[in-house]
A and B are shown apart, each in its own frame.
Chain A
């Protein structure tokens, strides 16, 4: 059974096109508007979309996404609402692979098996759960993902040792999500050089395509990494842009022109 993510990656390769993955927090600023944001992102050319299920303790998220998580939780959103929302989006965006991003306590509490089964049934194609390393043997997360035709997306960063790269390379499925903590806004050559080295060592151990995210905010950034990764990721920037608009309409238009500007 092929996964929609694989088909998308094959398509990008065939078209010799650099991919773009966008991230949203489900229900931010509220469910109807986050639905619109997704449709605008799709319309503007996002190739894959990460849907984050909000959590009280999002360990790996910076202030923008953290705040969005907590704001959404205050509206009383439930995990069941997130599944319904994802299912609706998946049925509208048949071309765009959707991935759930969340923290392990959410699937653990839901029941890992049920979570994987229901994610697949809702039309999702991958999971990004930063706090479950593949070698944490106590929970069969990796195998359950595969059993339900979901790609478990693993993460590497410049702090990763060669040992970890090898290990992630062994488990990698779909693509690997590389983060570079060094923001390249106002990119300096040295930072790009460091990044180049990091991505080159990842390539040595990881045979699936790579995505790379680090506060991308312009076409130049995307240009500078297209030789390093198959996919660029825009994360908190989308939320920042939404928040910078004076009205819903303006915010959505800003997001749209931002994403178009990256292509």
Chain B
């Protein structure tokens, strides 16, 4: 009898009391059809084979598991491995799920893909598969996120996607999610909503988790090859929760393995400007699912903050809520400042640029590793690489040379000719 894994089709999308399908009636038929198509595809060996082939040859899987020797020495505790999801096509784990759902959308005869995005990584992955498979594509992105993740906006547009700014509410991920759902309601016939994390109404949390669990499966094989045993501790950052669940899921029933999800503490939990749902969030039903949400005493969702746009979200995947309550996964948090320090550390010690999101996971390892034995093993999921964050990191690090460069470019009349 499995203790932590539920058959979410049998439970109709419920993970304990969480999850479910709290969707407007208009969406129910589309969600039912998606569930049916997915369950059929799962049983279809040609679907699975095509998915795996694309992951290998298009995205570049398996992504390496790298022994971070310098970081290990520097922190002086456990042996630290980095799962390099950032080396996949589009620079983050988001591509795994995007490829899977694109194949599913094609199977359902859809012509158009839409998606919400925060950091822009999921939007970029969606725009990429849309170009690859010939879908029309529209990405909804909060106005604030468009500003802080401009490089991704540029590439999405070059890939042929329309990037539509969301101008209301928090102007970040939560409202992009709302807007994508509304657009779906208007275009159900032609369009597949390519949800980017383990959130939303059933069956999305299950589908996204399944497509992402390739991360954990690979880690299992790779660490056995390297070390001849399973790791002691897995660490990943948690926005909606897809890279973490993809990493943790294949290890859930291995009781000895500690799992740590790192939420964004922003300017500090006590400041109220953060996105740590398990620090002050409470149960709610928003955007189609029941989980923990940051909300006020009336149930109005709160404005969140994180330097990492991909973590800046009021809700968290329902399966995380369940694993949290069961005590299977420990949830901690890292501030903007700690994430930036971790980013600089990884740059200097290993020559790797993590995404700001992933830097939160590194920050947790910095706190945890020194207390661990040198015979213990930590695996950190580097969910993405940080090239996309150049503007925001340069700004917070107050990098004079970069600022001068931008000014000079403008003065030169950049792009005017």
Seen from chain A, the residues whose Cβ lies within 8 Å of a Cβ on chain B are 55-57, 59-60, 62, 66-67, 70, 73, 78-79, 104-106, 108-110, 130-133, 136-139, 154-157, 159-161, 164, 168, 179, 181
Contact = CB atoms under 8 A, between A and B. Distances in A.
A159 B29 contact: yes
A137 B293 CA distance: 21
A133 B26 contact: no
B204 to A, nearest CB: 14
A109 B168 contact: no
Nearest to A53: B298
Nearest to A78: B298
A104 B22 contact: yes
B25 A154 contact: yes
Contacts of A60: 24, 26, 182, 185
Contact of A57 (B20, B21, B301): B301
A37 B52 CA distance: 59
Interface centre among B188, B285, B293 (most CB of A within 10 A): B285
Contact of B298 (A79, A159, A161, A164): A79
15 contacts: A59-B24, A59-B181, A60-B26, A66-B168, A70-B169, A73-B300, A104-B285, A105-B295, A105-B299, A108-B285, A109-B298, A131-B22, A133-B25, A136-B21, A181-B185
A138 B26 contact: no
B290 interface: yes
Contacts of A67: 168
B167 to A, nearest CB: 10
Interface of B: 12, 14, 17, 20-26, 28-30, 32, 168-169, 174-175, 178, 181-182, 185-186, 188, 283-288, 290, 293, 295, 297-301
Contacts of A106: 298-299
Contact of A155 (B26, B290, B297): B26
Nearest to A176: B25
Given A66-B168, A130-B25, A161-B29, A59 B178 contact: yes
Contacts of B174: 57
A130 B24 contact: yes
The interface residues of chain A, by DSSP majority, are classed as loop
Contacts of A59: 23-24, 178, 181-182, 287-288
A154 B175 CA distance: 25
Contact of A138 (B17, B23, B284, B286): B17
A218 B21 CA distance: 36
A189 to B, nearest CB: 21
Contacts of A161: 29, 32
Contact of A168 (B25, B175, B284): B25
Given A79-B298, A105-B295, A106-B299, A138 B24 contact: no
A37 to B, nearest CB: 23
A179 B26 contact: yes
B143 to A, nearest CB: 14
Contacts of B284: 105, 108-109
Contact of B25 (A55, A78, A105, A160): A160
Contacts of A70: 168-169
Interface centre among B23, B26, B32, B181 (most CB of A within 10 A): B26
Contacts of A136: 20-22
B283 to A, nearest CB: 8
A154 B25 CA distance: 8
Contacts of B12: 137
Contact of A157 (B26, B175, B178): B26
Nearest to B179: A66
Given A59-B23, A108-B299, A133-B23, 8 more contacts: A57-B287, A59-B178, A59-B181, A79-B299, A105-B301, A130-B24, A133-B22, A179-B26
Contacts of B175: 57
Contacts of B290: 138
A105 B29 contact: no
A144 B13 CA distance: 23
Contacts of A57: 169, 174-175, 178, 286-287, 301
Contact of A105 (B17, B30, B168, B285): B285
A118 to B, nearest CB: 14
Nearest to A102: B299
A109 B185 contact: no
B185 A105 contact: no
